[in-house]
Amino acid sequence: MLPPEAKIDNPASLAGSRRRSDVSAHWPVKQSKKRHRISVHPANTDFPPEKCPLFFALRHLILHNWHISIFQVTDIQICFYGHSSHQITTENTPCRTKTQLILNKSKPRQNSRRRKSLPATCLTGRWKRQASDLFISDGEKSVSVGIRRLGRVEHVRKLTRDYGRRLQGHVRVLAGGDPGEMLRPTEGRGVTVTPTGREIDLRLSSMPTLHGQDIAIRLFDPVSGVRSLNELGYDATELEMIRELLRQPSGLILIAGPVASGKSSTLYAMIDELNDGSRKIHTLEDPIEHSIPGVIQSQINERANLGFAELLATVLRHSPDVIMIGEIRDSRTAATAIRAGASGQLVLATIHARSAAEAIDSMLHYGVNPKAISQALLGAVNQRLVGQICSECGEQVGGESPEVEERVATRLGNDAAQLWKTTGCDACYGNGFSKMTCVPEILAINRSLKEVIANGATSVTLEDAARNNGMLCMAEALAARVYRGETTPHEAHRVIPAPQFARLRVKV
């Protein structure tokens, strides 16, 4: 039911009045702001407006005594406080309403620059800075807006609590959520369009906090598409090791790392490498971030009890050559992935772990038999993302060449070791880095490592055995990039606080 303060004008009471679909033609923006009105236009004239599912969804927008009027026309348009507008188009019948929300640029107000289409400003500014997340957090006296760019959180602006709450409700609607729900954690997904016409996929999550709520929005750009392995930042040796794993006809390849370490991008790049038309490829994802021609992609649906384990068991009956699992989260998915890798399919999967050796430990913690892992596992790739030095403001540090460990010097080859620093400029928004590049730790399984895994060795024992077999650990791979001048010692120490980076820190 609607809140008691909401008023509804039924079309029957407005007989004889020809209303246009344009809300501003009937109620100017200024008057709409003053009277807090929304105009709703159901698509089916024979369906009772009060029973339209879209009508009940819109009731959540009644935050400040909104006045709702219903008209019998085909379009639906909402005037939201005069700052921006949402155009909602309906398909099929009102019982199965499908909506699309479009963020339109509104006309600037003469006396209020601060309140000029703030959601559009936040989204547009976020894409200009190439940030990955947008945060809206309640404080004691204000609401702060921040972004995560190149692995760092940057403060954007502070809002009054009143306007900040309106912004939070606004982005909840964009993501298909309930703008009035503040007492429980919620999630939502949606699509918005910036004033420049660029579509952005939203993945929203909110949770209650001491002073209100915290909203985190992960934003994806479908236009950017899938990047190839050559574009991720691997050097020639690392690329050859990864491609050697992908050339195997069957087995399991694990991609490990913390949140926001580029695991999904690596998976998509591997699928792109394998997608030559000669293989049947299935992917199980949550969510599907990119549509790939020639690949059969399936979406996880937890509400329908359709998780990775259930979909994976079904996919095995569809005779796939390659299976991509978005994430191994439970023992059933882990066991099924091992069984698939041992029975003739090439399986690619991500798992949360701090190192390549600990990725195998995680599989053991899920209850998988060590001998089964040793038989099916081809290798594990652990990775991190580090900032790449801006070409405009990066400069070499003078002085003697740093002392380089023998294992790292082998990877450098004939390149002279050098250190670089950054000062920040307009091109990199004062950050000093232009983009993120991938640093991998690749553990390729050979016969001797299979025996170590089958005996149930710990991650420490396995990592020592892998290094004796030539594996370059994460700190050493990162040190090679520092000496090549791809990143700075400061950035390397931020990602992995290893002692060698602390010794190399350069004052800027």
Mind listing the pLDDT tens digit for each residue in 411-465?
777 777 888 888 888 888 888 898 899 999 999 999 999 999 999 889 999 999 9
The CA–CA distances, whole Å, from 425 to 22, 149, 395 equal 45, 15, 12
Q: Do residues 320 and 280 touch, judged by C-beta distance below 8 A?
A: yes
Percent pLDDT > 90 in the chain is 36
Q: In what order do the strands lie in the sheet with 76-80?
A: 76-80, 84-88, 101-104
| 106 — pLDDT class (breaks 50, 70, 90) | very low
Q: How confident is the model at residue 470 (pLDDT cuts 50, 70, 90)?
A: confident
Which amino acid, one-letter code, is at 150?
L
In the structure, what pLDDT confidence band is assigned to residue 400 with cuts at 50, 70 and 90? low
Top-confidence residue, 406 or 476: 476
Report the C-alpha gap between 308 and 329 in whole angstroms: 8
The mean-pLDDT minimum among 94-98, 112-116, 163-167, 415-419 falls in 94-98
- C-alpha distances in Å from residue 150, one per residue of 21, 130, 143, 146, 204: 44, 8, 23, 13, 20
Q: Is the pLDDT of residue 290 over 70?
A: yes
Smallest Cα–Cα separation from 150: which of 138, 137, 133, 174?
133
Q: Which residues pair with 163 in a beta bridge?
A: none
φ, ψ for residue 477, nearest 5 deg? -65, -35
User: Confidence band (pLDDT; 50, 70, 90) for 28?
Assistant: very low
Lowest pLDDT segment from 126-130, 144-148, 392-396, 440-444: 126-130
- Peptide bond before residue 402 is cis, with ω within 30 degrees of 0: no
CB 376 within 8 A of CB 463: no
Q: Which of 99, 126, 151 is the last residue of a domain?
A: 99
Encoding tokens for residue 114?
């601060």
Q: Which residues pair with 207 in a beta bridge?
A: 214
Q: Are residues 351 and 231 in the same domain?
A: yes
Give the pLDDT score at 142: 93
Judgement on whether residues 134 and 199 belong to the same structural domain of the protein? yes
Please indicate, yes or no, if residue 113 is contained in any of the structural domains.
no
Does the residue 192 lie in any domain?
A: yes
| DSSP 8-state class, residue 60 | G
Q: Which residues are within 8 A (CB) of 176 and not within 5 positions of it... i.e. 6 or more apart?
A: 188, 189, 190
Distance CA 52, CA 93 (A): 9
Confidence check: pLDDT of 35 > 50: no
Three-state DSSP string of 327-378: CCCCHHHHHHHHHHHHCCCEEEEEECCCCHHHHHHHHHHCCCCHHHHHHHEE
* Structure-token pair, residue 485: 């001048």
pLDDT of the residue at 494: 86
Higher-confidence position of 100 and 449: 449
Residue found by looking up tokens 């692995």 in the block: 151
CATH of the domain at 217: 3.30.450.90
Judged against a pLDDT cut of 60, whether residue 291 lies above it is answered with yes
Distance CA 324, CA 297 (A): 9
Residues 284 and 398 in one domain: no
User: Is the same domain home to 297 and 236?
Assistant: yes
Enclosing domain of residue 135: 118-222
pLDDT digits (tens, 9 = 90+) for 311-353: 999 999 999 999 999 999 999 999 999 999 999 999 999 999 9
Q: Which two tokens stand for residue 176?
A: 């298909």
Cβ burial 201-239 (10 Å sphere, 16+ → b, else e): bbbbebeeeeebbbbbbbbbeeeeebbebeebbbbeebe
Whether residue 272 is found in the same domain as residue 400: no
> Does 60 score more than 60 pLDDT?
no
Instruction: Give 258-288 pLDDT, tens digit per residue.
Output: 988 999 999 999 999 999 999 999 999 988 8
13-22, 119-128, 205-214, 270-279: least confidently modelled range = 13-22
- pLDDT recorded at residue 336: 94
Q: Clarify whether residues 210 and 340 are in a common domain.
A: no
* pLDDT score for 123: 54
Choose the final residue of a domain: 206, 222, 238.
222
CB 395 within 8 A of CB 423: yes
> Is 148 part of any domain?
yes
Does residue 104 fall inside a structural domain? no
Residues 65 and 125 in one domain: no
| C-alpha 186: how far from chain center | 17
Query: Rounded distance, CA 312 to CA 284, Å?
Result: 7
Q: Give the pLDDT score at 380.
A: 96
Asked if residue 247 is part of any domain, the answer here is yes
For residue 101, give the H/E element and its range: strand 101-104
* CA–CA gap between residue 186 and residue 19 (Å, rounded): 37
Task: State whether 31 and 80 are in the same domain.
Answer: yes
Domain count, the chain: 4
Regarding predicted confidence, which is higher, 322 or 189?
Answer: 322
Instruction: Tell me: do 279 and 189 sit in the same domain.
Output: no
156-160, 196-200, 216-220, 483-487: least confident range: 196-200
| Domain membership flag for residue 486 | yes
Amino acid in the structure at residue 151 = G
Return the pLDDT at 22: 37
What would you report as the CA-atom Rg of the chain, rounded to the nearest whole angstrom?
27
Q: At how many degrees (to 10) do helices 447-454 and 459-468 cross?
A: 170
317 and 454 share a domain?
Answer: yes
Does residue 397 come out as left (phi exceeding 0), alpha (psi in the -120 to 50 range) or beta?
Answer: beta
Residue type at position 176: G
Task: Inform me whether the pLDDT recorded for 107 exceeds 70.
Answer: no
Question: Is residue 298 scored above 90 in pLDDT?
Answer: yes
Q: What confidence score (pLDDT) does residue 65 get? A: 40
* pLDDT of 25: 39
Whether 152 is in a domain gets the answer: yes
| Dihedral over alpha carbons 159, 112, 107, 201 (to 10 degrees) | -10
Domain boundary among 205, 222, 239: 222
Average pLDDT score over the chain: 76
Tell me the pLDDT band of 502, cut-offs 50, 70 and 90.
low
CB-facing half-sphere around the CA of 100: CA atoms within 13 A: 10
With respect to residue 456, please indicate whether it lies within any of the assigned structural domains. Answer: yes
Same-domain status, 235 and 261: yes
In 211-342, DSSP assigns E strands to: 212-220, 251-256, 281-285, 296-299, 322-325
Give pLDDT tens digits for 216-246: 988 877 766 788 999 999 999 999 999 999 9
My answer on whether 41 and 166 are in the same domain is no
